[in-house]
Amino acid sequence: MSPTYQRIYSVVKRIPKGSVATYGQIAALTGNVNARQVGYALHALPKGYTVPWHRVINAKGEISIRSCSDGHDVQRLFLETEGVQFDARGRIPLQQYRWQP
């Protein structure tokens, strides 16, 4: 695992239950990476490595499309289980749920 991915995972692990962060927010907190790299890192998460990947969403407050067909539904279920609510357009109100480290 690359040191960059390890730094990304370390930041994502700090997001508390019931909160979300954007890919760009994680990139800024990690330093020297961009939002796309955060997405790649989360996609490459090794099995059994516990990182709350489901708490990372895009800047619109939406769940980003995944390559696997049920990834969106799984992420939404995990977030709803933690108390995160979606609006009628399927977005998470960032002003309410965005993590403020």
Give the chain's domain count: 1
pTM for this model (two decimals): 0.91
Q: Nearest to residue 55, comparing CAs of 33, 87, 23? A: 23
Integer CA distances (angstroms), 60 to 4, 38, 44, 56, 94, in order: 25, 16, 23, 12, 8
29 near 37, Cβ under 8 Å? no
Domain that holds residue 46: 3-97
Categorize the per-residue pLDDT at 1 as very low, low, confident or very high, splitting at 50, 70 and 90: confident
Q: The domain spanning residue 75 has which CATH number?
A: 1.10.10.10
- Identify the DSSP state of 35: H
56 DSSP β-pair partners: 21
49-70 pLDDT tens trace: 899 999 999 999 999 876 666 6
Categorize the per-residue pLDDT at 97 as very low, low, confident or very high, splitting at 50, 70 and 90: very high
Judged against a pLDDT cut of 90, whether residue 93 lies above it is answered with yes
Categorize the per-residue pLDDT at 46 as very low, low, confident or very high, splitting at 50, 70 and 90: confident
Torsion sign over Cα 19, 53, 42, 45: positive
